[in-house]
Structure 1
Amino acid sequence: MKAPTRQRIVWFVVGGVCLSLLLLYNSTTNTPEYQNNSNGRQMGDIGQHTSSLEGYSSLIDRKPLRMHCKCCALVTSSGHMTGSNRGAEIDNTECVIRMNDAPTRGYEHDVGRRTSLRVVAHSSMQRVLRNRLELLNSSLETFFIFWGPGNYMRGDGKGLVYNHLRLMKQRMPELQVYIISREQMLHFDELFKKETGKDRMLFLSWMFRRRSNSWLSTGWFTMAIAMEICDRINVYGMIGPDFCKSSNSKPSVPYHYYEPAGPDECTMYLSHEQGRHGSHHRFITEKRVFANWARMFNIHFYQPDWRPAALPENHTFT
């Protein structure tokens, strides 16, 4: 074989090896962190991870919510935030998410002062309106997402909450107000059923199926929405699912940091989890789902700081 021919073969082989290495590098570096899990599930399995989010429409023009953050601080209303000194840490996060009427004024040192997104239940709307000087007038750069039963949110003039929101929007046109669509509400219900194997609307009695007054909490909606918006979620003030059942002594903290004389958090959680009559939430069940999600996705818990225990290799999620 002539020398020039051998040289061409060598260069061809070297070029093929370099191309293969380049393709391998690109395939590994373009994989997001939250996709790395043993079950092959991705953030998009919970919600479509995109800057334009279907299922959340602005109140007047019905445009979809457009929001995306690399890192979010999801600040709960728990009494665990009292004395936490986490305010500066929270405010240094790209996006800050809060719930219902949780205030920041007077609590900045512990919970921060910024709010990028506030998720509000229909039952908290009146409290938000009463505190509008803080929660609305000073929040023109904040996105508000309101959720509630379909008959409250309907826009045909018969929806009580929708009518209040429309009036508020007319008085303060700069507010960025969004509502969750009926289809998205059904999606959140199906998500709860898929993750827990339980239908929150029904429970089995010894003779027949009866309707339950169990409601998804604002925390459930907020976490699910955050998973659509954020690449990483730092959750502040949320306890683990077994915290209240632990035999270890633990401090008594109020359910809300801004209501120090209010009910004890664990007492509230346990009574709701065990409730069968009257309206109640499944706080502990929801937190068990959040712990499962944190094992697969980029979710971290602070104040108290904890991380979910690893699951057995043969464990499957419902």
Structure 2
Amino acid sequence: MEDFKQHYNTCALVSNSGQLLNSKASQEINEAECIIRMNHAPTFNYSEDVGNRTTIRVCSFQAIGNIKKGLYVGKEKSDYVFMWGMDNPKRRSWARLRLRKVANMFPNQRFFTLRNRGEHLAEAIYESETQIDRDKTNSWLSTGWFTMLLALEICDDLKVYGLVSEDYCRTHNKTKVPYHYYEEQKYDECQMYDQHESQFVQGHRYLTEKSVFHRFAVLFNVSFRHPEWNIQDYNYTKLYSPFLRKWNNKTEEKGR
């Protein structure tokens, strides 16, 4: 596949979170030169809150067959679709086969894939920022992680919509917000985050990733909307998340 060479002055990274419901953020999102969405998040029926245009859609290799056909054609179609996880040797054959089938079904949709060395770089950045080993901590990188790194690479001015900070659930523990704005799930947003952050079995470390995003916001031209993040007073030298606290405590106990 060809290399992606686009670069943008302004970008809106729109999360899948229920935080966006009733936000009326459409106008400011649509003003961005590049609008980035993830996996199968739709705009239809939600355009007043999430905008109605998609430049880039970033998808997990697992989402290839789950993305609704309408997201590849018509008003929901994005200019580009980025797939991550495609080049991993463990799943390269079947993942590429599935992508080839989808690409043949929708010849007008442009697809790009993250190379294996790009995934290794994403993992190295995670480990460098958190100071923990991803494999030893049984941690999975999320689509949001890959999307943020892509956005930082191709955007001069990045605004992120609907993403909560790493301490949001601690300070809003009575707030019930849907995990996704477009579908009902068993757990609300904070329940989902807490479940993944509180255990050492395999899982996503959503709040841990968000603590790194908070650091990125201090170092790069990144801001957060709906809800707003406190960037000015943030101490970026020390990361905080429930999982990091539990893991560091466990490590200290072993060292005694």
The TM-score bracket by the shorter chain reads: 0.7 to 0.9
Q: Which has the higher mean CA deviation after the structures are superposed, 258-267 or 113-122?
A: 258-267
8 A contact 1:272–1:282 mirrored in 2: yes
Q: 1:147 to 1:153 in 2, by over 3 A?
A: farther
Q: Secondary structure at the match of 1:195?
A: helix
Q: 1:283 aligns with which of 188, 194, 206?
A: 206
Larger Rg: 1
Which residue of the partner structure matches residue 218 of structure 2? 295
8 A contact 2:10–2:33 mirrored in 1: yes
Q: Determine if the alignment matches structure 1 residue 215 to structure 2 residue 135.
A: no
Q: Percent identity?
A: 36
* Residues 3-42 of structure 1 aligned to structure 2 (within 5 Å): none
Aligned amino acid, residue 306 of structure 1: W
Q: 1:249 to 1:183 in 2, by over 3 A?
A: closer
Which residue of the partner structure matches residue 177 of structure 1? 111
8 A contact 2:179–2:185 mirrored in 1: no
1:226 is displaced (CA, Å) by 0.1
TM-score, normalised relative to structure 1: 0.70
Q: Determine if the alignment matches structure 1 residue 135 to structure 2 residue 135.
A: no
Residues of 2 paired with 1:304 and 1:262: CA distance? 23
Which residue of the partner structure matches residue 234 of structure 1? 159
8 A contact 2:177–2:189 mirrored in 1: yes
Residues of 1 paired with 2:219 and 2:99: CA distance? 37
* Residues 120-269 of structure 1 aligned to structure 2 (within 5 Å): 120-128=59-67, 131-132=68-69, 134-138=70-74, 142-148=79-85, 150-151=88-89, 154=92, 159-203=93-137, 212=138, 214-246=139-171, 248=172, 250-269=174-193
Q: 1:312 to 1:240 in 2, by over 3 A?
A: closer
Q: 1:217 to 1:189 in 2, by over 3 A?
A: same
Q: 1:100 aligns with which of 39, 62, 69?
A: 39
Which residue of the partner structure matches residue 20 of structure 1? none
1:123 is displaced (CA, Å) by 1.9
TM-score, normalised relative to structure 2: 0.87
Query: What RMSD over aligned residues (CA atoms) do the two structures have, in Å?
Result: 1.9
Q: Secondary structure at the match of 1:295?
A: helix
8 A contact 1:122–1:146 mirrored in 2: yes
1:296 is displaced (CA, Å) by 1.2
Q: 1:195 to 1:92 in 2, by over 3 A?
A: same
Unpaired runs of 5+ in structure 1? Answer: 1-61, 204-211
Q: Secondary structure at the match of 2:187?
A: coil
Q: 1:83 to 1:183 in 2, by over 3 A?
A: same
Unpaired runs of 5+ in structure 2? Answer: 240-256
Q: 1:87 aligns with which of 16, 26, 41?
A: 26
8 A contact 2:17–2:179 mirrored in 1: yes
